[in-house]
Structure 1
Amino acid sequence: MALIGADGKQVTEQEAPKIEFPCANYPVKVVGKGTEDFREVMLSIFEVHAPGFDYARVMMRDSSKGNFRSMTVYITATGVDQLQALHKDLTAHQLVHMVI
């Protein structure tokens, strides 16, 4: 998993900022196809890896032409393994273009 610094450049894992776990309010942004089932499908993946996140804080936004949809979900990150598994499952889904 590539890490991007605040300046937009890729950083090595040694330079990556340290996250203390558990980390509440950890944002995960998913960008994908603007289908009607995007929200439901993505939230089901989040529920597997971060059960109990606050559905009320989920933010959705459609692109100007409606071809793409982005979703930001705030989870409690419990560790690197959880984040890597979540990233793997999200990026493997056919509706997803990118995970930030």
Structure 2
Amino acid sequence: MNNDNPPPKIEFPCPDYPIKVLGEATERYREIVLSVMEIHAPDFDIEKITIRDSRNGTFQSVTVFITATGVDQLQAIFDDLKKLPETRMVL
């Protein structure tokens, strides 16, 4: 495998950029994820949000599509989502 090729670069602004968060399935978690998104990407499309519960209902994934404006914005979103005690993974 050739590792000389750099990963593809994102061109900003990048519409429909998905951010998926996996955490404990609580009503509070969903609301706090959306509040973080409103701080950093207030123009996200609320109609495109997908929420899925795990088979046993223990965990929940929340996917939000934003218009990514830059690396700093994405890093701030990831950092704030990772700080939530319920969060297990941010993709």
Normalised by the size of structure 1, how large is the TM-score?
0.84
What's 2:10 paired with? 19
**1:49 and 2:49 equivalent?**
no
More moved, 36-45 vs 77-86 = 36-45
Q: Per-residue displacement from partner, 1:47-90 (whole Å, max 9, x unpaired)?
A: 00101111110000000110000011000000000000100000
How many residues in Structure 1 have an aligned counterpart in Structure 2? 88
What's 1:6 paired with? none
By percentage of residues, which structure has more helix?
2
> Root-mean-square deviation (CA), in Å?
1.3
SS at match of 1:37: helix
From 77, 86, 89, the counterpart of 1:95? 86
Gaps of 5+ in 2: none
Normalised by the size of structure 2, how large is the TM-score?
0.92
Q: Percent identity?
A: 53
* Greater relative contact order structure (CA < 8 Å, 6+ sep): 2
Q: Could you list the structure 1 runs, at least 4 aligned residues long, displaced by more than 2 angstroms after superposition.
A: none
